[in-house]
A and B are shown apart, each in its own frame.
Chain A
Amino acid sequence: MKYLSEYRDKKLIASLIDEVRRVKTAPLRIMEVCGTHTMAIFRHGLRSILPGDIELISGPGCPVCVTSSAHIDGFLHVALLDGVRVAIFGDLFRIPGSQGSLAQAQAGGARVEVVYSPMDALTLARKHPEELVVFLAVGFETTIPLVAATILEAYRQNVNNFAVFSSHKIMPPALHALLGDPELCLDGLLCPGHVSTIIGAAAYEPIARDFGISCIVTGFEPVDVLQAILMIARQVAEKRNDVENAYGRAVNWQGNGRAMALMHQVFEPVDCQWRGLGVIEQSGMAIRQEFARFDAEKRCDIKLTETPEPKGCLCGDILKGKKTPIDCPLFKGRCTPLNPVGPCMVSSEGTCAAFYKYGVV
C-alpha cells in the first residue's frame, strides 16, 4: 500500500541499521510504549537484525493489557445482563477476567458482536431497538475521540438504547508514573505514533525535560522504527534529550485540535486503575455528566470491585519493562494464548503473546 510499502524497503532498512551501528556510542535501552510498535517489531523480525546491545523493552501501550481485571469483570457482568448486546473490538474477545472471558460468555448465551468501528455499535443499536447495545470501550487518545463522535451522533439522533462502558485511558499521565520509577533507566522512548497524531509531538516535551530522556514519535513500519532508534542513538551520542518527530506524515507538533476538543466535550479525566501500574491520577477518561444517559456504568448500575491479579502472573512487571515473559514461570506452561493467565498473553499485541507467537530466532 502506498505510504506503507515504501517504509518496508529492504535497502533503506539495511542502510538505517548500518547507520545505527555507526552512530551508536553505547548500549541502548529503548522502550516502545505502544503495543502496535511491539507488534511491528515482532512481525518484521526487527530484533533479529538490530545490533545485540540495543535492548527493546515493551511498555504499557496495549490498552487491553492495561485494563484492570475489575473492568474486565465489569464488561463480563454487562454482557451477561438480560436484554443487553455488547459490541467490542476483536482484541477484547478472549481477555480473561476473574470469572471468564467474553468468548466464554458468548458460549453461555451472551450476545457479543465484534465490530470494526464504534459507529458500527451505534448501527447495531438502531437495528435492535428492543435491546440495550453497550460498546465496551478500551483505548487511548487515538480511539477516544472516535467514541466521543459516536456518542455525539447517538445524542443527535436521539438513540436511547446505546451506551458506552468506558475504560479509556490517556497516555501522558501513565508515562509520568512509569518513568518516575528509578529502576527503569531508559535511554529513549518510542512514542506511540497514532496517539501522537491526536495529542501532538509537543505533548512529550515535559517528559523529555523532567526525566532527561529522548522521546521520538514514530510510525509502525520497519523504516519508521529504525529511523527512531537512529535518532535516539544520535541523541545519546550528542548527550541530548529532545522530542523529535520521525513520523511527520502522520503527526505534527500540536496534534489534532478538533479530535482533542471532541474528546474533552464528551469525556473528562478521572483517576484510573492500570493493570500492573496501579491507580494513576487523572489517567482515565469517563463520560461527562451531560452525557450520562450514554454511560453504561450508570445505566446498568455497575460497581467495580477490584479483584487480585492472577497468581504468579508477572504482567505488571512486564508492562513496566522490568521483566520479560521468559522470566515468568507460567510462560508457555500454564499460560498460553489458548489458556491465558494474564492479559499480556491474550491481546495480540501483548508482550507475552508476541513472545509466544513470534519468538526470537
Chain B
Amino acid sequence: MCLAVPMRVIRVSGLEGDFTLTPLAVVEAQGIEKDVRLDLVDQWPEIGDYLIIHAGFAIHTLDEKEAEINLKLLREMAEGLK
C-alpha cells in the first residue's frame, strides 16, 4: 500500500517544535497545489524542499543529495554499458 508522491514546499505555517499551532505547508507539483499537514515530519521543511506526501500528510523530507548521487551512479552505469 501507500501511494506517496514528492511535492515541493512553497509555503510553511506553524512553528518548528510547537505542534500546538497547526503545522501546515502548501506544496506544489506541475502547477498543482495542495495543503498538507506537517505533524509527522521529523525534520522541519524549508521552502524549496521536497516532501513525500501520503494522504494529505508529509511523511518525509526528500533527501535531494541522496537522489542526485544515486541518479549519477545509474547514469554512469548506463553510459558505461553503451
Contacts and interface: CB of A to CB of B under 8 A. Distances in A.
A35 B81 contact: no
B15 interface: no
B40 A35 contact: no
A152 B40 CA distance: 12
Contact of B54 (A156, A194, A223): A194
B59 A142 contact: yes
B78 A197 contact: no
A262 interface: yes
A248 B71 CA distance: 11
User: By CB atoms of chain A within 10 A, which of B30, B50, B54 has the most?
Assistant: B54
B44 to A, nearest CB: 10
A60 B71 CA distance: 30
Interface string A195-213: 1011000000000000000
Contacts of B5: 1, 4
B10 interface: no
A146 B66 contact: no
Interface in B1-30: 1-8, 20, 29-30
Is chain B's binding surface mostly helix, strand, loop or mixed?
mixed
Contact of A18 (B30, B40, B63, B81): B81
B50 to A, nearest CB: 6
Given A61-B1, A139-B1, A149-B40, A248 B66 contact: yes
Interface stretch (A249-257, A269-277, A293-301): A249-257
Interface in A229-248: 246, 248
B4 A194 contact: yes
Contact of B42 (A12, A246, A250, A257): A257
User: Size range of the interface on B?
Assistant: 35 or more
B40 A249 contact: no
Contact of A146 (B7, B54, B74): B54
Contacts of A4: 5-6
A256 B62 contact: no
A189 to B, nearest CB: 16
Contact of A63 (B1, B67, B77): B1
B71 A1 contact: no
A117 interface: yes
A262 B41 CA distance: 11
Contacts of B4: 142, 194, 197, 250
A252 B59 contact: no
Interface of A: 1-4, 6, 11-12, 14-16, 18-19, 34-36, 61-64, 89, 116-120, 139-140, 142-143, 145-146, 149, 152-153, 156, 192-195, 197-198, 220, 223, 227, 246, 248-252, 256-259, 262, 349
Leading 3 A-B pairs by shortest Cβ distance:
A117-B56, A248-B66, A15-B78
20 contacts: A1-B6, A3-B50, A11-B78, A15-B77, A15-B81, A16-B77, A19-B81, A36-B3, A116-B56, A143-B2, A156-B20, A192-B1, A194-B4, A194-B52, A248-B63, A248-B67, A250-B4, A252-B63, A257-B42, A349-B1
Given A16-B77, A145-B40, A252-B63, 18 more contacts: A2-B6, A11-B78, A15-B77, A36-B3, A140-B1, A142-B2, A142-B4, A143-B55, A145-B59, A146-B37, A149-B37, A194-B3, A197-B52, A249-B66, A249-B70, A256-B42, A258-B42, A262-B40
Interface of B: 1-8, 20, 29-30, 37, 39-42, 50, 52, 54-57, 59-60, 62-64, 66-67, 69-71, 74-75, 77-78, 81-82
